[in-house]
Amino acid sequence: MLLPENVSTYGAQIDRLFWAILWITGLFFLLVQGGLLYFTVKYRARPGKRASYVHGNTVIEIVWTVIPALILVALTVCSQRLWVELRSPGRIPPSAMPVRILAEQFAWNIRYPGPDQEFQTPDDVTALNQLHLPVGKPVLIQLESKDVIHSLFMPEFRVKQDAVPGLTTQVWVEATKAGEYEIRCAEFCGLGHYRMRGFVTTDPPEAFEKWLRETQANE
């Protein structure tokens, strides 16, 4: 299987676009390489036969320019439509639960608002490299960096977002099944980059609430 398991609500849309691009580019790759091989054999040097110059064909040149251009425009439209749906602030589910992730060399600092639903208050719930998400509920990740550029990569959720110092970037996700997955940093961020791993646990809502209460009680 080329792609990791999909456990997010919008993963299927991203996968469909990925496969469409792969099949289109793969088809044209085979056509181009096959054409090169054919002409290499057909017009190879032969004893007693001189090479001749061919100026070209304007119609063919227009066709092979217009067709790829139309395909690229179609893919751009599809990609932009999906990008707006997933990343436009106006499309973020209003009920999304906020979570802050502060990336630093070489860890993921995760913070949940407490009962007051406000960050940076005494009832906040914090975790190190352990992100818990409730199944069936959208979560709004507010991503920041403390030092250098990092990249939050959660392949099973089809999420890859850079964390840039001085910026807060938002990305939302909704888990579709319970399980345990990995967070990776997809941007070289220093000599300890290989150690910058985290884990995502997707829990049923009741189990997630229980984890929040237990983690808060232990702080």
pLDDT at 219 over 70: no
What is Dmax (Cα atoms) for the chain? 90
Mean pLDDT on 6-29: 93
Q: What percentage of the chain has pLDDT greater than the value 90?
A: 72
Mean pLDDT on 21-43: 93
Mean pLDDT for the chain overall: 91
Structure tokens at 85: 């749906």
The CA distance from 9 to 148, in Å, is: 31
Structure tokens at 181: 């997955």
Does the model's pTM come out above 0.85? no
Same fold, 11-89 and 97-217: no
Q: What percentage of the chain has pLDDT greater than the value 70?
A: 99
Segment (H or E) for 47: none
Residue 206's pLDDT is 93
Whether 172 and 8 have beta carbons less than 8 Å apart is answered as: no
Coil/strand/helix, residue 169: strand
Residue 90's pLDDT is 84
State which amino acid sits at residue 86.
L
Among residues 5, 39, 185, 10, the alpha carbon closest in space to that of 106 is found at: 185
In the CATH hierarchy, which fold is given to the domain comprising 97-217? Answer: Immunoglobulin-like (2.60.40)
Domain extent listing, the chain: 11-89, 97-217
The CA distance from 129 to 100, in Å, is: 12
pLDDT tens-digit series, residues 46-74:
888 887 777 888 898 999 899 999 999 99
pLDDT tens-digit series, residues 101-143:
999 999 999 999 988 888 888 888 999 999 999 999 999 999 9
Asked if omega into 29 is within 30° of 0 (cis), the reply is no
Mean pLDDT on 138-161: 95
Looking at the domain that runs over 11-89, which CATH code has it been given?
A: 1.10.287.90
